[in-house]
Amino acid sequence: MIPAYQHSQTNMLDVILQTERFQKEDKELKDKAVAILNLFGLDSNKHDLASSLPYGSQRKLEIVRALMSRPRMILLDEPAAGMNHAETDILMKLIDQVRTSFGVAILLIEHDMKLVMGICEKIFVLDYGLKIAEGPASEVRNSPKVIEAYLGVDQELSP
């Protein structure tokens, strides 16, 4: 709930005196937190320490925390790092759900081409800091520069 407090309308006196305004806002924040945890399948872990959760659940929780701050954009830097294929597929669906359900733009930095090609509307490909391709997955996957830089000259990125 901590990220949501930046939008709080209560002040320190409200908290100390446990005013009606504080109690109402606190209940709303708790309800929102539980609803988002439920949406991400983490409601049964709401009292657990983040560090005690499995790795994939920790990654989900990071996104939940970000959503509690009511962002317009979320930057995900290598969100699939250390995940297996099944976890990456779940992450791909989760990112799409965040984008559509919360109306949040996602800026994704990722090396997992399956994830990138499966979720991104527009892709920018960098090679040693230089942009070598830009566009939708259908164009980028067939770019000779991308194929050469990331997979070798004789290969193509699969969808």
pLDDT of residue 151: 67
Q: What pLDDT is stored for residue 154 in this prediction?
A: 53
134 pairs with which residues across the strands? Answer: 124
Model confidence, pTM = 0.73
Q: Which domains are delineated in the chain?
A: 2-108 (3.40.50.300), 121-159 (no CATH)
The answer to whether 143 and 133 are in contact (CB under 8 A) is: yes
Q: How many CB atoms lie within 10 A of CB 76?
A: 19
Would you say 25 and 8 are in contact if contact means Cβ atoms under 8 Å apart? yes
Q: Any alpha helices (H) in 69-133, and if so which ranges?
A: 85-102, 113-119
What confidence score (pLDDT) does residue 104 get? 93
CB 75 within 8 A of CB 107: yes
Going from the first residue of the chain to its last (159 residues), give the mean pLDDT of each consecutive group of 10, the final group possibly shorter. Answer: 80 88 90 90 90 87 91 92 86 90 92 88 91 92 87 56
